[in-house]
């Protein structure tokens, strides 16, 4: 009887451990950030101080990727030749109802907070932005995710903002988009561009963050992917 009880306990403990390893359960913020999946990828950008004018214009490139660390998900970016911020990390906060963006440049480290508006634009504000740095950042996508527009504004008074500049990005390489056929990332459901291997089979992920998560535990990542696809069939 005692041995039977111990065997039952061992099976229950194993089941709990397997369940705890499932990516969808252990990674906080992943579901909320999946709304911003189209940010992930490499982008070519042109910045303009005034729309339609080349005066003061510049070029830059951006690379957005997932990051999974200590049970938390985030989106990170790196910008080459940036006018404002070279790196940043975007997280879900307040029960996944809002987002927080931490950015870094040579001159400033700032934290912005905000949420998606009714049109799907992510609007973020920093109450303590110093002079010369944006107090509000708005990110929106057009052309089925092929274009990303990032508007930087300074604060004038308590509740007014004026344009500082806007960067218009075009996705590198692509005919990617929701309206076309594409290979799906097995971790987040985005556009799979990076091949990964498991048990002789090739799968695809959308960025280096998803690649690292897959390689840490391919079986768990694929189990969660198959569960998600089965759930989609039931909808």
SS3 labels along 117-180: CCCCCEEEECCCCCCCCCCEEEEEEECCCCEEEEEEEEEECCCEEEEEEEEEEEECCCCCCCCC
Q: Are 39 and 75 contacting, i.e. CB atoms less than 8 angstroms apart?
A: yes
Residue (of 231, 185, 222) closest to 205 by Cα position: 185
Report the C-alpha gap between 57 and 88 in whole angstroms.
Answer: 22
Q: What is the pLDDT of residue 26?
A: 52
Q: Are 75 and 63 contacting, i.e. CB atoms less than 8 angstroms apart?
A: no
Count of beta carbons in the 10 Å neighbourhood of residue 9 = 10
Q: What is the pLDDT of residue 174?
A: 55
Domain 32-171 listed as CATH 2.40.128.20: yes
Phi, psi of 156 (to 5 degrees): -125, 110
Q: What is the pLDDT of residue 12?
A: 36
Q: Are 78 and 128 contacting, i.e. CB atoms less than 8 angstroms apart?
A: no
Q: What is the pLDDT of residue 181?
A: 61
The residues pairing with 41 across neighbouring beta strands, listed in sequence order, are: 64
**Tens-level pLDDT at each residue, the chain (235 residues):** 444 444 433 433 333 343 444 444 457 899 999 999 999 999 999 999 987 788 899 999 999 999 999 999 999 999 999 999 999 999 999 877 899 999 987 667 899 999 999 889 999 999 888 888 999 999 999 878 888 999 999 998 778 999 999 999 988 875 544 445 678 899 988 888 899 999 999 999 999 999 999 999 999 889 888 887 887 777 6
The residues pairing with 112 across neighbouring beta strands, listed in sequence order, are: 101
pTM score, two decimals? 0.76
The residues pairing with 137 across neighbouring beta strands, listed in sequence order, are: 124, 152
Report the C-alpha gap between 47 and 54 in whole angstroms.
Answer: 9
The residues pairing with 217 across neighbouring beta strands, listed in sequence order, are: none
218-234 and 208-216 helices cross at what angle (nearest 10)? 110
Q: Sort strands 194-198 and 136-142 into parallel, antiparallel or unpaired.
A: unpaired
């Amino acid at each position: 009887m005692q041995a039977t009880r111990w065997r039952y306990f061992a099976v229950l403990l194993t089941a709990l451990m397997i369940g705890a390893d499932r990516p969808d359960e252990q990674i906080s913020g992943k579901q909320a950030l999946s709304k911003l999946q189209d940010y992930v990828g490499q982008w070519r950008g042109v910045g303009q101080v005034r729309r339609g004018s080349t005066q003061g214009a510049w070029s830059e490139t951006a690379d957005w990727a997932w990051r999974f660390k200590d049970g938390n998900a985030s989106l990170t970016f790196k910008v080459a030749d940036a006018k404002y911020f070279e790196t940043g990390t975007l997280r879900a906060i307040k029960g996944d109802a809002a987002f927080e963006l931490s950015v870094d440049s040579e001159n400033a480290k700032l934290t912005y907070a905000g949420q998606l508006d009714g049109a799907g634009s992510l609007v973020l504000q920093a109450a303590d932005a110093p002079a010369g740095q944006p107090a509000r950042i708005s990110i929106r996508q057009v052309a089925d995710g092929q274009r990303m527009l990032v508007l930087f504004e300074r604060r004038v008074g308590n509740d007014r903002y004026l344009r500082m500049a806007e960067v218009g990005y075009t996705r590198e390489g692509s005919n990617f988009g929701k309206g076309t056929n594409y290979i799906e990332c097995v971790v987040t459901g985005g556009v799979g561009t990076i091949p990964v291997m498991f048990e002789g089979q090739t799968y695809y992920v959308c960025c280096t963050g998803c690649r690292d998560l897959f390689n840490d535990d391919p079986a768990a990542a694929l189990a969660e992917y198959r569960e998600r696809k089965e759930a989609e069939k039931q909808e």
